[in-house]
Amino acid sequence: MEMPHARSNRRQFVKLSALAAGAVMLPSRAMAQAPAAFALPALPYAINALEPHIDARTMEIHHGKHHAAYVAGLNAALEKAPKLKGKSLEEIFAGIGSVSDESVRTALRNHGGGHWNHTFFWNTLAPAKKSGAPSPELLKAIEASFGSMGDFKKAFNETATKRFGSGWAWLISSKGKLRITSTANQDNPLMKGIVPDADLGTPLLGLDVWEHAYYLHYQNRRADYINAWWSVINWAEVSRQFAAL
Ligand code: MN
């Protein structure tokens, strides 16, 4: 938006710069040094795009309230862990052990994990009509690891159903093989030194089985939510991540 007075503002800025270069430069240098805080990413589809499998109201609260709270909590925790400010989430996970304050460590684990997990979750979902299917290469790897697509689904469903309380079920790539794991709360398979080594790997799929992910629509019927989730997996994205391993 070109304001009528923009030109005179620019002229004034140039004049100020010439008069006091140091003073004018300082704020911009400080801004360049200050790491950008984490921000809530927009959903890659409309809020109601996953209906009827995942309803718009659940998505609205899950993304707009729960995920937003993890982002805010992560940014607040980073204020108390200045050495990790400006780092990627993966670097933050690796650096949690170096933070001396236990409450800050816990906040980074819970909120950092919450931000990573939900961002990953949204990106591996798609409207049912765009869900697609695993690439031939991914399907082959699933069959090699689990026997068949049906056996894979059965094993994944069992892990997701059995996760007691809040947490996630995952399909991970670990040492060249696909495996199904589960983590509690907002932990994830990237958290070396936090989750058991057996659960570590590169996530390809993650299913949020916190009650906040399904309770409004499915109430206590977690199994129905898990079955519905298979209809809205973004297989193109999962296959892309598999190909990039
Ligand atoms: Mn969630």
Co-location of 185 and 118 in the same domain: no
CA 22 / ligand 1 centre spacing (Å): 47
CA 136 / ligand 1 centre spacing (Å): 30
CA 210 / ligand 1 centre spacing (Å): 6
Co-location of 24 and 41 in the same domain: yes
Contact yes or no for 237/204 (Cβ under 8 A): no
Co-location of 141 and 36 in the same domain: no
Co-location of 146 and 92 in the same domain: no
Residue type, 176: G
User: Positive or negative, the Cα torsion across 40, 45, 46, 51?
Assistant: negative
Of 107, 123, 139, the position where a domain reaches its end is 123
CA 205 / ligand 1 centre spacing (Å): 14
Q: What is the pLDDT of residue 92?
A: 97
Q: What is the pLDDT of residue 103?
A: 98
Instruction: Read off the CATH number of the domain in which 112 is found.
Output: 1.10.287.990
Q: What is the pLDDT of residue 94?
A: 94
Q: Which among 40, 177, 224 has a CA at the least distance from the CA of 122? A: 40
Co-location of 79 and 156 in the same domain: no
Co-location of 119 and 155 in the same domain: no
Q: What is the pLDDT of residue 35?
A: 52
CA 76 / ligand 1 centre spacing (Å): 19
Co-location of 136 and 204 in the same domain: yes
Co-location of 136 and 237 in the same domain: yes
CA 54 / ligand 1 centre spacing (Å): 13
Co-location of 119 and 197 in the same domain: no
Tens of pLDDT, residues 61-86: 999 999 999 999 999 999 999 999 99
CA 158 / ligand 1 centre spacing (Å): 19
CA 61 / ligand 1 centre spacing (Å): 10
Co-location of 63 and 91 in the same domain: yes
Q: What is the pLDDT of residue 59?
A: 98
Co-location of 160 and 218 in the same domain: yes
Contacts of 22 (CB under 8 A, 6+ apart): none
- Range(s) of the domain holding residue 23: 4-45+54-123
Co-location of 237 and 134 in the same domain: yes
Residue type, 205: L
Say what the pTM is: 0.85
**Residue ranges in the chain whose pLDDT is less than 70:** 1-35
Of 101, 123, 145, the position where a domain reaches its end is 123
Total domains in the chain come to 2
